Amino acid sequence: MVAISVATCQFAVSGDVSANLRNVVEQLRVAKRRGAHVAHFPEGALSGYAGCDFDSFDGFDWAGLRSATLRVLELARELGIWVVLGSAHRLGDGLAPHNSLYVIDDRGRLVDRYDKRFCSGDAEGRTGDLAHYSPGDHASTWEIGGVPCGALICYDYRFPELHREYAKRGVRLLFHSFHTGNATPERLAAIGAAIGPEHERLNPAATFTYPGITMPAAMTAVAASDHVWISCPNSSAPESSWPAFFVRADGVHVGRLRRGEPGVLLSTVDTEEDLYDSTGPWRHNALTGHLHSGTPVDHPRSTDRTSL
Protein backbone atom coordinates (compact mmCIF):
# COMPACT_ATOMS: atom_id res chain seq x y z
CA MET A 1 0.00 0.00 0.00
CA VAL A 2 1.27 3.46 -0.93
CA ALA A 3 -0.01 5.84 1.77
CA ILE A 4 1.42 9.11 3.07
CA SER A 5 0.23 11.61 5.66
CA VAL A 6 -0.11 15.25 4.57
CA ALA A 7 -0.22 18.22 6.95
CA THR A 8 -2.12 21.13 5.37
CA CYS A 9 -1.04 24.18 7.37
CA GLN A 10 -2.71 27.54 7.81
CA PHE A 11 -1.72 30.66 9.74
CA ALA A 12 -2.08 34.42 9.37
CA VAL A 13 0.56 35.14 6.73
CA SER A 14 1.98 38.65 7.02
CA GLY A 15 4.69 40.92 5.66
CA ASP A 16 6.89 40.11 8.67
CA VAL A 17 9.27 37.33 7.58
CA SER A 18 10.39 36.66 11.16
CA ALA A 19 6.80 36.17 12.33
CA ASN A 20 6.06 33.95 9.34
CA LEU A 21 9.13 31.86 10.12
CA ARG A 22 8.01 31.36 13.72
CA ASN A 23 4.65 30.08 12.48
CA VAL A 24 6.24 27.78 9.92
CA VAL A 25 8.64 26.34 12.50
CA GLU A 26 5.87 25.82 15.06
CA GLN A 27 3.56 24.11 12.57
CA LEU A 28 6.37 21.96 11.17
CA ARG A 29 6.98 20.62 14.66
CA VAL A 30 3.25 20.00 15.15
CA ALA A 31 3.06 18.21 11.79
CA LYS A 32 5.99 15.97 12.67
CA ARG A 33 4.58 15.13 16.12
CA ARG A 34 1.32 14.12 14.50
CA GLY A 35 3.07 11.78 12.08
CA ALA A 36 3.01 13.79 8.85
CA HIS A 37 5.38 12.87 6.03
CA VAL A 38 5.00 16.30 4.40
CA ALA A 39 3.89 19.75 5.57
CA HIS A 40 2.25 22.08 3.04
CA PHE A 41 2.00 25.86 3.49
CA PRO A 42 0.06 28.70 1.79
CA GLU A 43 1.14 30.95 -1.05
CA GLY A 44 3.74 33.44 0.18
CA ALA A 45 3.83 31.75 3.60
CA LEU A 46 7.42 32.73 4.40
CA SER A 47 7.90 35.93 2.40
CA GLY A 48 4.39 37.31 2.66
CA TYR A 49 2.31 38.13 -0.42
CA ALA A 50 3.21 41.35 -2.25
CA GLY A 51 0.32 43.71 -2.88
CA CYS A 52 -1.64 42.15 -0.02
CA ASP A 53 0.55 41.56 3.04
CA PHE A 54 2.90 44.41 2.05
CA ASP A 55 2.83 47.06 -0.67
CA SER A 56 5.76 46.09 -2.88
CA PHE A 57 9.24 44.54 -2.93
CA ASP A 58 10.89 47.97 -2.75
CA GLY A 59 13.40 47.73 0.11
CA PHE A 60 12.50 44.09 0.78
CA ASP A 61 14.84 42.23 3.16
CA TRP A 62 16.07 39.52 0.79
CA ALA A 63 18.94 38.59 3.10
CA GLY A 64 16.48 38.01 5.93
CA LEU A 65 14.29 35.85 3.68
CA ARG A 66 17.28 33.77 2.60
CA SER A 67 18.28 33.24 6.23
CA ALA A 68 14.72 32.21 7.12
CA THR A 69 14.59 29.79 4.19
CA LEU A 70 17.85 28.15 5.25
CA ARG A 71 16.36 27.70 8.72
CA VAL A 72 13.40 25.84 7.22
CA LEU A 73 15.74 23.59 5.20
CA GLU A 74 17.71 22.88 8.37
CA LEU A 75 14.57 22.05 10.34
CA ALA A 76 13.25 19.77 7.57
CA ARG A 77 16.51 17.79 7.82
CA GLU A 78 16.40 17.79 11.63
CA LEU A 79 12.78 16.57 11.77
CA GLY A 80 12.98 14.30 8.72
CA ILE A 81 9.90 15.81 7.05
CA TRP A 82 9.15 17.06 3.53
CA VAL A 83 8.06 20.70 3.19
CA VAL A 84 6.17 22.48 0.40
CA LEU A 85 6.70 26.14 1.26
CA GLY A 86 5.21 29.25 -0.31
CA SER A 87 7.66 32.13 -0.71
CA ALA A 88 9.15 34.64 -3.15
CA HIS A 89 12.18 33.68 -5.25
CA ARG A 90 14.53 36.56 -6.06
CA LEU A 91 15.77 36.91 -9.65
CA GLY A 92 17.80 40.11 -9.57
CA ASP A 93 18.91 42.18 -12.60
CA GLY A 94 15.88 44.42 -12.20
CA LEU A 95 13.42 41.56 -12.67
CA ALA A 96 10.42 40.98 -10.44
CA PRO A 97 10.74 37.80 -8.33
CA HIS A 98 8.79 34.59 -8.85
CA ASN A 99 5.84 33.67 -6.63
CA SER A 100 7.05 30.20 -5.71
CA LEU A 101 6.65 26.96 -3.85
CA TYR A 102 9.93 25.48 -2.59
CA VAL A 103 9.92 21.68 -2.48
CA ILE A 104 12.22 20.54 0.35
CA ASP A 105 12.84 16.84 1.01
CA ASP A 106 13.19 15.11 4.37
CA ARG A 107 16.98 15.48 4.21
CA GLY A 108 16.68 19.27 4.02
CA ARG A 109 17.51 19.52 0.33
CA LEU A 110 15.78 21.87 -2.09
CA VAL A 111 14.72 19.39 -4.79
CA ASP A 112 12.46 21.59 -6.94
CA ARG A 113 10.71 24.94 -7.13
CA TYR A 114 7.36 25.68 -8.71
CA ASP A 115 6.82 29.24 -9.95
CA LYS A 116 3.24 30.47 -10.31
CA ARG A 117 2.55 30.41 -14.02
CA PHE A 118 -0.69 32.36 -14.22
CA CYS A 119 -0.16 35.55 -12.24
CA SER A 120 -3.30 37.67 -12.03
CA GLY A 121 -3.38 41.16 -13.52
CA ASP A 122 -3.76 43.07 -16.76
CA ALA A 123 -1.76 42.43 -19.93
CA GLU A 124 0.50 45.43 -19.25
CA GLY A 125 1.47 44.05 -15.83
CA ARG A 126 0.23 47.07 -13.90
CA THR A 127 -2.23 45.28 -11.62
CA GLY A 128 -2.54 42.11 -9.56
CA ASP A 129 0.34 39.67 -9.25
CA LEU A 130 1.96 40.91 -12.45
CA ALA A 131 2.64 44.26 -10.80
CA HIS A 132 4.95 42.42 -8.37
CA TYR A 133 5.94 39.02 -9.77
CA SER A 134 7.40 37.41 -12.89
CA PRO A 135 5.36 34.41 -14.10
CA GLY A 136 6.91 30.95 -14.24
CA ASP A 137 6.95 28.63 -17.24
CA HIS A 138 7.21 25.05 -15.97
CA ALA A 139 5.45 22.24 -14.16
CA SER A 140 7.07 20.71 -11.08
CA THR A 141 6.79 17.00 -10.28
CA TRP A 142 8.46 14.80 -7.69
CA GLU A 143 7.67 11.76 -5.54
CA ILE A 144 7.09 11.35 -1.81
CA GLY A 145 6.96 7.75 -0.62
CA GLY A 146 6.29 6.56 -4.17
CA VAL A 147 3.37 8.98 -4.67
CA PRO A 148 3.79 11.26 -7.75
CA CYS A 149 3.26 14.89 -6.71
CA GLY A 150 2.76 18.24 -8.42
CA ALA A 151 2.30 21.89 -7.43
CA LEU A 152 0.15 24.88 -8.36
CA ILE A 153 -0.51 28.28 -6.81
CA CYS A 154 -3.83 30.10 -6.29
CA TYR A 155 -4.97 31.76 -9.59
CA ASP A 156 -3.56 28.78 -11.51
CA TYR A 157 -6.80 27.02 -10.50
CA ARG A 158 -8.73 28.89 -13.19
CA PHE A 159 -6.75 27.17 -15.96
CA PRO A 160 -7.77 23.49 -16.26
CA GLU A 161 -5.01 22.95 -18.81
CA LEU A 162 -2.54 22.97 -15.90
CA HIS A 163 -4.47 20.26 -14.06
CA ARG A 164 -4.66 18.11 -17.18
CA GLU A 165 -0.93 18.55 -17.73
CA TYR A 166 -0.29 17.04 -14.32
CA ALA A 167 -2.81 14.26 -14.96
CA LYS A 168 -0.89 13.35 -18.12
CA ARG A 169 2.28 13.15 -16.02
CA GLY A 170 0.62 10.70 -13.62
CA VAL A 171 0.42 13.06 -10.62
CA ARG A 172 -1.72 11.62 -7.82
CA LEU A 173 -1.21 14.29 -5.11
CA LEU A 174 -1.49 17.99 -5.91
CA PHE A 175 -0.15 20.64 -3.55
CA HIS A 176 -2.21 23.72 -4.45
CA SER A 177 -1.30 26.68 -2.25
CA PHE A 178 -3.64 29.66 -1.87
CA HIS A 179 -3.65 33.09 -0.28
CA THR A 180 -7.02 34.82 0.04
CA GLY A 181 -6.46 36.58 3.35
CA ASN A 182 -6.05 40.17 4.52
CA ALA A 183 -9.22 41.38 2.81
CA THR A 184 -11.18 44.00 4.73
CA PRO A 185 -14.85 43.33 5.62
CA GLU A 186 -15.68 46.23 3.31
CA ARG A 187 -13.85 44.52 0.44
CA LEU A 188 -15.70 41.25 1.06
CA ALA A 189 -19.00 43.12 1.14
CA ALA A 190 -18.19 44.87 -2.15
CA ILE A 191 -17.42 41.53 -3.82
CA GLY A 192 -20.67 40.07 -2.50
CA ALA A 193 -22.59 43.02 -3.87
CA ALA A 194 -20.96 42.57 -7.28
CA ILE A 195 -21.97 38.89 -7.33
CA GLY A 196 -25.54 39.82 -6.44
CA PRO A 197 -27.06 39.30 -2.96
CA GLU A 198 -30.01 37.49 -4.54
CA HIS A 199 -27.64 34.64 -5.48
CA GLU A 200 -26.20 34.09 -2.01
CA ARG A 201 -28.63 31.33 -1.00
CA LEU A 202 -27.74 29.40 -4.16
CA ASN A 203 -24.00 29.60 -3.55
CA PRO A 204 -23.27 28.36 -0.01
CA ALA A 205 -19.67 29.22 0.83
CA ALA A 206 -17.46 30.22 3.74
CA THR A 207 -17.67 33.79 2.43
CA PHE A 208 -19.90 35.17 -0.31
CA THR A 209 -16.97 36.04 -2.56
CA TYR A 210 -15.67 34.73 -5.87
CA PRO A 211 -12.80 32.87 -4.16
CA GLY A 212 -15.12 31.55 -1.46
CA ILE A 213 -17.47 30.12 -4.09
CA THR A 214 -15.22 29.07 -6.95
CA MET A 215 -11.93 27.89 -5.42
CA PRO A 216 -13.30 25.02 -3.28
CA ALA A 217 -15.71 24.06 -6.07
CA ALA A 218 -12.89 23.94 -8.62
CA MET A 219 -10.78 21.72 -6.37
CA THR A 220 -13.72 19.33 -5.96
CA ALA A 221 -14.14 19.11 -9.74
CA VAL A 222 -10.43 18.61 -10.41
CA ALA A 223 -10.11 15.89 -7.78
CA ALA A 224 -13.11 13.99 -9.15
CA SER A 225 -12.25 14.32 -12.84
CA ASP A 226 -8.50 13.65 -12.57
CA HIS A 227 -8.74 11.26 -9.57
CA VAL A 228 -6.13 13.23 -7.63
CA TRP A 229 -5.81 14.13 -3.95
CA ILE A 230 -5.47 17.89 -3.34
CA SER A 231 -4.07 19.77 -0.33
CA CYS A 232 -5.41 23.36 -0.19
CA PRO A 233 -3.80 25.58 2.47
CA ASN A 234 -4.78 29.24 2.80
CA SER A 235 -3.75 32.22 4.87
CA SER A 236 -5.96 32.59 7.94
CA ALA A 237 -5.39 36.38 8.14
CA PRO A 238 -8.69 38.23 8.48
CA GLU A 239 -10.64 38.35 6.38
CA SER A 240 -9.80 34.98 4.85
CA SER A 241 -12.19 33.85 2.10
CA TRP A 242 -12.23 30.20 3.18
CA PRO A 243 -10.35 27.82 5.50
CA ALA A 244 -7.70 25.31 4.45
CA PHE A 245 -9.13 21.95 3.37
CA PHE A 246 -8.23 18.62 1.79
CA VAL A 247 -10.00 16.81 -1.06
CA ARG A 248 -9.92 13.05 -1.65
CA ALA A 249 -9.48 11.68 -5.16
CA ASP A 250 -13.22 11.04 -5.52
CA GLY A 251 -13.97 14.75 -4.99
CA VAL A 252 -15.02 14.36 -1.34
CA HIS A 253 -13.74 16.93 1.18
CA VAL A 254 -12.29 14.90 4.06
CA GLY A 255 -10.98 17.67 6.31
CA ARG A 256 -11.32 21.41 6.89
CA LEU A 257 -9.83 23.87 9.37
CA ARG A 258 -11.64 26.85 10.93
CA ARG A 259 -11.65 30.05 8.90
CA GLY A 260 -9.49 32.77 10.44
CA GLU A 261 -7.72 30.45 12.89
CA PRO A 262 -4.25 28.88 12.63
CA GLY A 263 -4.18 25.10 12.41
CA VAL A 264 -2.66 21.93 10.99
CA LEU A 265 -4.93 19.50 9.14
CA LEU A 266 -3.76 15.87 8.82
CA SER A 267 -5.00 13.81 5.87
CA THR A 268 -4.00 10.44 4.45
CA VAL A 269 -3.31 9.78 0.77
CA ASP A 270 -3.72 6.09 -0.03
CA THR A 271 -3.36 5.51 -3.78
CA GLU A 272 -4.63 1.93 -3.42
CA GLU A 273 -7.83 2.90 -1.62
CA ASP A 274 -10.91 1.74 -3.53
CA LEU A 275 -12.58 5.08 -4.27
CA TYR A 276 -15.42 5.87 -6.65
CA ASP A 277 -14.01 6.91 -10.04
CA SER A 278 -16.62 7.07 -12.80
CA THR A 279 -14.17 8.67 -15.24
CA GLY A 280 -11.50 6.01 -14.70
CA PRO A 281 -12.24 3.74 -17.69
CA TRP A 282 -11.97 6.63 -20.17
CA ARG A 283 -9.57 9.13 -18.59
CA HIS A 284 -6.61 7.92 -20.64
CA ASN A 285 -8.66 8.33 -23.82
CA ALA A 286 -9.51 11.91 -22.91
CA LEU A 287 -5.91 12.76 -21.96
CA THR A 288 -4.69 11.47 -25.33
CA GLY A 289 -7.27 13.44 -27.29
CA HIS A 290 -9.87 10.72 -27.87
CA LEU A 291 -12.87 12.58 -26.54
CA HIS A 292 -15.45 9.82 -26.36
CA SER A 293 -16.05 6.52 -24.60
CA GLY A 294 -16.62 3.18 -26.31
CA THR A 295 -16.11 2.66 -30.05
CA PRO A 296 -17.53 5.23 -32.53
CA VAL A 297 -19.85 3.84 -35.18
CA ASP A 298 -19.35 4.16 -38.93
CA HIS A 299 -22.85 4.73 -40.27
CA PRO A 300 -24.40 7.33 -42.59
CA ARG A 301 -27.14 8.13 -40.08
CA SER A 302 -24.39 8.92 -37.59
CA THR A 303 -22.38 11.17 -39.92
CA ASP A 304 -25.44 13.01 -41.28
CA ARG A 305 -26.18 15.53 -38.54
CA THR A 306 -28.71 17.69 -40.36
CA SER A 307 -31.55 15.25 -40.90
CA LEU A 308 -33.94 13.31 -38.72
Write the pLDDT tens digit of every residue in 214-237: 999 999 999 999 999 999 999 999
Edge-to-edge strands, sheet with 263-270: 110-115, 98-104, 82-89, 38-40, 3-10, 263-270
Residue 29 lies in a domain: yes
Q: Using 50, 70 and 90 to split pLDDT, how confident is the model at 92?
A: confident
Residue 212 lies in a domain: yes
String of DSSP letters for 163-218: HHHHHHTT--EEEEE-------HHHHHHHHHHH-GGGGGGS--SSSSHHHHHHHHH
8-state DSSP, 128: G
Residue 47 lies in a domain: yes
Q: Which pLDDT tens digit goes with each residue over 75-84?
A: 999 999 999 9
Residue 159 lies in a domain: yes
Residue 290 lies in a domain: no
Q: Which of 172, 168, 227, 140 is nearest to 3 (CA)?
A: 172
Q: CB atoms < 10 A from the CB of 117, how many?
A: 19
Interacting residues of 50 by C-beta distance below 8 A, sequence separation 6+: 44, 56, 57, 88, 132, 133
- Cβ atoms of 191 and 250 within 8 Å: the answer is no
Q: What pLDDT is attached to residue 148?
A: 98
Mean pLDDT for the stretch of residues 124-138: 96
Residues pairing with 255 in the sheet: 246
Q: What pLDDT is attached to residue 1?
A: 52
Handedness of CA 115, 120, 126, 127 (dihedral sign): negative
Q: Which pLDDT tens digit goes with each residue over 148-170?
A: 999 999 999 999 999 999 999 99
Edge-to-edge strands, sheet with 229-232: 141-144, 147-153, 173-177, 229-232, 245-247, 253-256
Upstream peptide bond of 165 is cis (omega within 30 degrees of 0): no
Q: What pLDDT is attached to residue 30?
A: 98
pLDDT higher than threshold 60 for residue 122: yes
- Cβ atoms of 164 and 125 within 8 Å: the answer is no
What is the pTM (predicted TM-score) of this model? 0.97
pLDDT higher than threshold 90 for residue 190: yes
Quick one: residue 228, left, alpha or beta (phi over 0 = left, psi -120 to 50 = alpha)? beta
Q: What pLDDT is attached to residue 178?
A: 98
Residue 135 domain boundaries: 3-279
Q: Which pLDDT tens digit goes with each residue over 247-304?
A: 999 999 999 999 999 999 999 999 999 999 999 999 999 999 999 999 999 999 999 9
- Cβ atoms of 179 and 100 within 8 Å: the answer is no
Where are any strands of DSSP class E within the chain? 3-10, 38-40, 82-89, 98-104, 110-115, 141-144, 147-153, 173-177, 229-232, 245-247, 253-256, 263-270
Residue 202 exposed, middle or buried by CB count within 10 Å (0-12, 13-18, 19+): exposed
Mean pLDDT for the stretch of residues 184-192: 91
The per-residue pLDDT of the chain, averaged, comes to 96
Strand 38-40 and strand 3-10: pairing? parallel
Quick one: residue 45, left, alpha or beta (phi over 0 = left, psi -120 to 50 = alpha)? alpha
**Where are the alpha helices (H) located in 51-159, listed in sequence order?**
62-79
Residue 64 lies in a domain: yes
Q: What pLDDT is attached to residue 200?
A: 95
Q: What pLDDT is attached to residue 93?
A: 87
Residue 308 lies in a domain: no
Q: What is the CATH number of the domain that holds 184?
A: 3.60.110.10
Domain count, the chain: 1
Distance between CA 177 and CA 231 in Å, rounded?
8
Residue 34 lies in a domain: yes
Mean pLDDT for the stretch of residues 92-112: 97
